[in-house]
Amino acid sequence: MPARILDGKALAQTIREVTAAEVASLRREREIVPGLTVILVGENPASQVYVRNKQNACNAAGMVGRTLRLPADISQSTLIHDIERLNADPMVHGILVQLPLPPHLDERAVLSRISPRKDVDGFHPENVGLLASGTPRFVPCTPLGIRELLIHGGVETRGAHAVVLGRSQIVGKPMALLLLQRGEGGDATVTVCHTGTRDAAAYARQADILIAAIGRPEQVTADWVKPGAAVIDVGIHKRADGRLCGDVHFPSVAQVAAAITPVPGGVGPMTVAMLLRNTLQAAIQS
């Protein structure tokens, strides 16, 4: 029987509607309008699309979504000065630096200058530490969205063996930490595979929940997947024919897994929905 589809697009729409209602309530009761500023350095075409989608989503939810566009040759000191200015602006509740940055800029140093209470991407060292200690404030949006998909999709995480393919700061590491948290959507036993892992496919075959975030198109095939597993595909790639695919070979894996996310329409919409939720949280806590 083909796998059940974990529909991120439909769930994200529901979350966005709930968030919009909460934004309206916050505006009415406390006269606070959540504000998100996205910093876009350079003219990377893909980044421009992502930033436009984020800004449109903010505005649709009743928030103030702004984009600060900066030249690709901006100096690190000037970029940090702009971040500090946004840190001090009470109308800005969330700050997001669109990655990747041009190679002459130190991403880690830049991200660490965002106020941790405005770091709605969850990448500041303080927020990473809070997640690791079991008291999260802001969690990176993609892992947070995956957890919501698992919860609403009825995928039991407690006691499950979750295998995360990839150890990035954006997805892999925070995903593992999130699955280890106590409570709903957590309490899993987690294995993280990476470029140094010997025979990642062997670990993947043991997974009750398999999360693929390795950045290689259709790397995960049916022989990587335990029958009945839930498979979350974080990747997004464009084939030569222009169609999109993920890190998972959907046609074959869907015949083995019990549940699977599509590409597009799976993890991507959830990432944007969680960004809105984090921005609302930042405004409430301001």
Active-site residue list: 54, 98, 121
**How far apart are alpha carbons 56 and 46 in whole angstroms?**
16
Closest Cα to residue 268, out of 49, 20, 38?
Answer: 49
Closest Cα to residue 187, out of 177, 195, 173?
Answer: 177
E strand residue ranges, 4-114: 4-5, 35-41, 64-70, 94-97
Cβ neighbours for 16, distance < 8 A, ≥ 6 positions apart: 57, 60, 61, 273, 276
Helix, strand or coil for residue 78?
Answer: helix
- Partners of 97 in the β-ladder: 39
Q: Is 134 left (phi over 0), alpha (psi -120 to 50) or beta?
A: left
Backbone angles phi, psi at 83, to 5 degrees: -65, -45
Measured from the Cβ of residue 225, the count of other Cβ atoms closer than 10 Å reads 28
Cis status of the peptide bond prior to 100, with omega within 30 of 0: yes
Closest Cα to residue 231, out of 223, 220, 242?
Answer: 220
Are the C-beta atoms of 15 and 277 separated by less than 8 Å? yes
